[in-house]
Structure 1
Amino acid sequence: MVELRRRAMVGLLGLGAVGTAISWPRLTGGDIPGRGEDALTVAVGGTAQDAAARQGLVDGFQKRHPDIPVRVVAIQGQDGDFFAKILSMVAAGNAPDVVHLATEGTQLFAERMAAPLDEYVRRDAAELQEYFDDVHPSLIESFMYQGSLFQLPDNFNAANIYYNTAAFERAGIERPADDWTIEDFFDIGRRLQASADGSFLPYFWNNRLWGGAIPWLYVNDANIIREEKFPGGDWLWERFYPDHEPRGGGYRWRQADALNEHTIESFEVLERMVSEGLAANPAQGGGNELVSLFARGSVGMTPAGGFWVHGLKEAGFAGDEYDVTYFPKMRSQRHQFGAAGHCIVGSSERKDEAWEWVKYCVSTEGMRLLRNKPDSSVARRSLNAELYGAGVGPAHWEIFYDTLDQHPTTGAIPAPPQQAKVEAALIKNVTATITRGPSGVRPGLETMQRDLDLALKGL
């Protein structure tokens, strides 16, 4: 998963944003006569290395579709910057045909520039059935908007609890039961703290939308925005998930819900963690330092997804030195996730070719090429063993997908079209809400409610 830091979307870049996009002839076939301006353009977030890693994917696609040259364009920037640059390219008349997009941008793009996939999905339903059979409906639902489907997910990350096995052993703590509770969490945190020498935090977390305060709301049937659903979507659920309860036409995020009693209760839990010294003030520290803190035993538990396996492996932290489990149970054990997949740009003149690219990327062959290292859980249930099994991941790596299968109400992070402003309102208010004692929780959430109301109005 990408870091979820945002900047304001308006006025970030002018037409010069196009100049920040970097393309590579090896990927474009630009050195081959006739393969230049007519190539299908796919925009991805990242650097030269990120784009070059897709060479195998491009090669595989062009073996199947030699008549469709592909140009991969990498655009640097965290989600908010990335979205702004794509929108600037569209305004400049230089829009890509396809964009690889995370949940944070789905509704923004669906509202402004993405083309629905409904017609193509209906047409190729027989071909796609095995894909949908292999993908949990929660992931599909996250890419529905106003009754239409805008992306096919290829990867996701649910927020789970990673724990340092040496720290647990030192405190004499067994692996938590799958249905452990919030009081179990506090008991484990206190025991970890009592057994530690020097600087140690039982729980470390970051102030952000994914993996910050939100997981503690989801396990308590709460959220910062009231969760509603658009009507529609029956065409998809009846065709591909007839044995599941229909889920509607996608998430509709309209009303701030920071003052819901369940939300208040979750923030009271976070206040207890910080006041007892069991958790860091989330404004301190960042994601870049967390891997090293965890690897050297300074942190007992932290929220992360399947993407962290790769980071820990790169840091030399072996899979038996840590393990994963679910978030502890409060009123429920519902989790949160973010996903990613390709969308087709509405202004593209190559939508048919773009659809062939989207389909190939979610085929078994394409997904193996696209997700070939343990840096995100694979949307296809069947492929995760190839990434995390055989000692690559932690002992209980199955938790990554079982979070969906065992807790089917697990849902996407709240990401309306105004997502950047919503996240800014959340981040602004979390620390003040949980660091002023028990009496400061409700006043802090009253301010958050006001700021979220303004964010949802686009103010």
Structure 2
Amino acid sequence: MSGTNGALRQFTRRSALTALGAGIVGVTAASWPRLTGADIPGRGDNSLSIAIMGTAADAAARQKVIDAFAKVHPEIKVKVQAIQAVDWKDFFTKILTMVAAGTPPDVVYVATEGAQLFAEKLAHPLDEYLRRDADHMKEYFEDVHPSLVEAFMYKGSLFQLPIDWNAANMYYNATALTKAGLERPSDNWTHTDFRSTLAAMKKANPKDFTPYYWTNRLFGGVVPWLYANDTSFLKETKSPGGEWLWDGFYANDPSRSLRSGGYQWLEPNADDPRVFESFDYLRGLVKDGLGVRPEEGGGSALIGLFASNRIGTTPAGGYWVQGLHEAGMTENDFDVQFFPKWRTQRHQFGTAGYAIMKTAKDKDAAWEWVKFSSSREAMQIVFPTPNTTPARRSMVNEQLYAGTGPRNWKVFYDTLDKFPTTGPIPAPPQQAAVETALMKNVSLAVSGDERQLKDALTSMQRDLEIALRRQP
């Protein structure tokens, strides 16, 4: 990481969620190339074992949460393992290895990418606990937008409580914008307005300046453009059910009628004409030098490039704020706006929370940890700085962004309030295979002529059909 010296650093939604998972939990063991029962702290005793993706850093902050939990539940001993992983797919693979070895943890911190994999195969639903503790949990649900909760619904049951989340909003470099003679974009700017903004930035800045930087992955890549164009690379439907939750906690919410028993992605949709249209738009940006050919993963050194005024815009969430601040940017140097409108202005988001494993030794104790982690007390310990967006609306406030920016921090939670159909990362139980099928074809689709784009989408459709037939 770098500070104000301008050194380049890498910071992505995944590393932010890694830090979050590490920030909530207690004493952390090292990571091992091969995981066995002996590697899991608490295995062999009555401790509640919790697995997260992360490192052994920030031990002091983690211990504060453990100490706070111990005051409420001194009878529950918690021991945690932070598992180092390249990304969520790698982390989930390691958890599956532990399960296959007969040494699963009791609780796992899971992001949207793995929510349905866990719900389908590994996790225990929270329904019974939420019904039992409804009076206690009412305050939590009043403070959390239903869109985030619905992302963790699966076939009518709820498997996780959202702790943090991030939408793919559009960050812009204020210096580059001003240099181009432009003002802050309007809330309802369009994809054509966005292209015009990039063209003005390119004209006003040096040759090594990149107006638009994007990555090749499920979050913040092509998917936000597909959502804005009212489509996706997978056909999206919703399961029935969930009335027990929505009528119990969100009966008076204006978006109640939109809620369901959970998202389903059962068929590929890469042959949709709107998918072609969206990719063709991005292909045009790349062809005209307004955007880069997307890099796989999170984008190495992206924050450093942005802070050195070499990138004009990029899609990212609230997790970017602290990184930009540490890179030396002030609230006058950058800002954030809603993702541009196309046929819709639906946004994409990812969220994360704890899942109780079916094999947990003491599910009641695991629930107490999950419940405490969702409390305002715990989340205030976890989120002292804006390195992600808290799921609790009341915590996304001026105090959190004081001294760091952005000036228009309200965009983060307003994304859900103004665009209630905003949806999660499309991640069915076969997420790993689906993401591979997507990433394999994206760069090819936007790097050549129209014929190459059509061939790439045909390949993507075929690869997705195979991926969705696989058992998760």
Structure 2 length-normalised TM: 0.90
**CA separation in 2, counterparts of 1:144 and 1:253?**
13
Q: How does 1:60-459 map to 2 (within 5 A)?
A: 60-77=68-85, 78-243=87-252, 244-283=256-295, 287-385=299-397, 388-458=400-470
389-398 or 220-229: bigger deviation? 389-398
CA contact (8 A) 1:57 1:369 kept: yes
**CA separation in 2, counterparts of 1:157 and 1:256?**
25
CA contact (8 A) 1:20 1:75 kept: no
Distance change (3 Å), C-alpha of 1:427 and 1:359: same
Shift of 1:286: 5.3
Shift of 1:81: 1.5
Aligned amino acid, residue 228 of structure 2: V
Report the equivalent of 2:34.
16
Report the equivalent of 1:9.
none
**Structure 1, residues 207-251: CA drift from partner, whole Å, max 9, x if none?**
111000000001111101000111111111111111221511111
**Structure 1, residues 157-182: CA drift from partner, whole Å, max 9, x if none?**
10011110000111111000000011
Report the equivalent of 1:10.
none
Which of 46, 52, 57 pairs up with 1:44?
52
328-337 or 267-276: bigger deviation? 267-276
CA contact (8 A) 1:373 1:387 kept: no
**CA separation in 2, counterparts of 1:387 and 1:259?**
46
Shift of 1:437: 2.0
Shift of 1:21: 5.4
Alignment partner of 1:53 is 2:71: no
* Structure 2 portions without partners, runs of 5+: 1-12, 17-30
Shift of 1:374: 1.1
**CA separation in 2, counterparts of 1:313 and 1:270?**
29
Distance change (3 Å), C-alpha of 1:456 and 1:389: same
**CA separation in 2, counterparts of 1:288 and 1:387?**
30
CA contact (8 A) 1:14 1:88 kept: no
CA contact (8 A) 1:275 1:437 kept: no
Distance change (3 Å), C-alpha of 1:148 and 1:50: farther
**CA separation in 2, counterparts of 1:369 and 1:233?**
31
390-399 or 422-431: bigger deviation? 390-399
**CA separation in 2, counterparts of 1:275 and 1:264?**
16
* Structure 1 portions without partners, runs of 5+: 5-12, 29-34
SS of 2:332 mapped into structure 1: helix
**CA separation in 2, counterparts of 1:189 and 1:22?**
50
SS of 1:320 mapped into structure 2: coil
In the comparison of the two structures, how many residue pairs are matched? 441
**CA separation in 2, counterparts of 1:410 and 1:314?**
30
Aligned amino acid, residue 234 of structure 1: E
SS of 2:165 mapped into structure 1: strand
CA contact (8 A) 1:44 1:51 kept: no
Aligned amino acid, residue 117 of structure 1: L
Shift of 1:16: 2.9
SS of 1:319 mapped into structure 2: coil
SS of 1:259 mapped into structure 2: coil
**CA separation in 2, counterparts of 1:224 and 1:240?**
32
**CA separation in 1, counterparts of 2:38 and 2:333?**
40
**CA separation in 2, counterparts of 1:402 and 1:73?**
35
SS of 1:226 mapped into structure 2: strand
CA contact (8 A) 1:336 1:413 kept: yes
Shift of 1:441: 2.4
CA contact (8 A) 1:372 1:387 kept: no
CA contact (8 A) 1:234 1:246 kept: no
CA contact (8 A) 1:108 1:416 kept: yes
CA contact (8 A) 2:40 2:105 kept: no
**CA separation in 2, counterparts of 1:368 and 1:102?**
20
**CA separation in 2, counterparts of 1:299 and 1:21?**
43
CA contact (8 A) 1:21 1:75 kept: no
What's the Cα RMSD here?
2.1
Structure 1 length-normalised TM: 0.92
**Structure 1, residues 71-98: CA drift from partner, whole Å, max 9, x if none?**
1211110211111111222222222111
Distance change (3 Å), C-alpha of 1:86 and 1:285: closer
**Structure 1, residues 333-376: CA drift from partner, whole Å, max 9, x if none?**
00000000001011112100110110101111011122232111
Shift of 1:52: 5.0
